[in-house]
Amino acid sequence: MKLRKVTAASAAVLTLALTATACGSDDGDDGGSSSGGGKKITIGIKFDQPGLGQKTPQGYAGFDVDVATYVAKKLGYSEDQIEWKESKSADRETMLQRGDVDFIAATYSITPERQEKVDFAGPYLLAHQDVLIRADDDSIKSPEDLNDKKLCSVTGSTSAQNVKEKLAPKAQLQQYPTYSACLTGVQNKAIDALTTDDSILAGYAAQSQFKGKFKLGGFKMTNENYGIGLKKGSDLKDKINDALEAMVSDGSWQKAVDANLGPAGYKNDPAPKIGEIKS
């Protein structure tokens, strides 16, 4: 009886050892996830921001996508090893904390509140709150000219409220469900101006159907330091910072800005220095 028990125990140990060997992960994986035996990296982007992060029938496009792709290549991943995941603004910290993505590049402004929850590489773009108006509208030349004008932003956004509280108290706030709806309102003259980050405005205005119809005010009402979000303590931070510096130095950064945002007359600030956050 005792002999049979020892034999059964030995068999169980052997089975567990074989199972562990079969399920072992690829030790060569450099911070990314493994899928189907192949090396993968999962990156969060916006799917609905033209010029920045957009899912199209042809794939994924935009400045954030170009930055993320460049960084991934520097980390050792080819384009077909990237898995893109939609990262809505309200979900970004949770996605990073849960490990749903390896990093996020999605118009993600670095703020003290967010830095308590996640780490950031960068910044890689200095954006500013601005307004978008019709190309033939010469009545809005400064933020103060927004007084008595119909000013639109998306429902839940603080952009329009910031303008009303600090710069144009008589502005008539209009909330639409999407930036596209605001843009149509400006085009149809139901709205005088649309406000949010200038990079986002430029991305929408750069769409082929809108070329030449809108212009940016160039008011630079706030500083928005876009960074690449990472899980707290991620060992990818220094590697990503090195990749961002390389992207600037070899000209790829400016090329990506011009290709994605230039058609709207976007005048970008110089590439920010790593770790330099402008308040």
User: Is pLDDT of 58 > 70?
Assistant: yes
Which residue from 267, 151, 150 is spatially nearest to 219, judged by alpha carbons? 267
**Res 28: pLDDT:** 38
**Res 19: pLDDT:** 41
Q: Within 10 A of 81 (CB to CB), how many other CB atoms are there? A: 16
Q: Residue 264 — pLDDT band, cuts 50, 70, 90?
A: confident
**Res 233: pLDDT:** 97
Q: Which domains does the chain have, with CATH numbers?
A: 34-127+224-264 (3.40.190.10), 129-216 (3.40.190.10)
Average pLDDT over residues 193-213: 93
Question: What percent of the chain has pLDDT above 70?
Answer: 86
Which tens digit of pLDDT belongs to each residue from 60-74? 999 999 999 999 999
Which tens digit of pLDDT belongs to each residue from 2-16? 444 444 444 443 343
CA 33 to chain CA mean position, Å: 20
Q: Residue 22 — pLDDT band, cuts 50, 70, 90?
A: very low
Question: What percent of the chain has pLDDT above 90?
Answer: 77
Which tens digit of pLDDT belongs to each residue from 78-128? 999 999 999 999 899 999 999 999 999 999 999 999 999 999 999 999 999
The pTM score is: 0.83
At CB < 8 A and 24+ separation, what contacts does 147-151 make? 147/171, 148/172, 149/192, 149/193, 150/174, 150/190, 150/191, 150/192, 150/193, 151/191, 151/192, 151/193, 151/194, 151/195
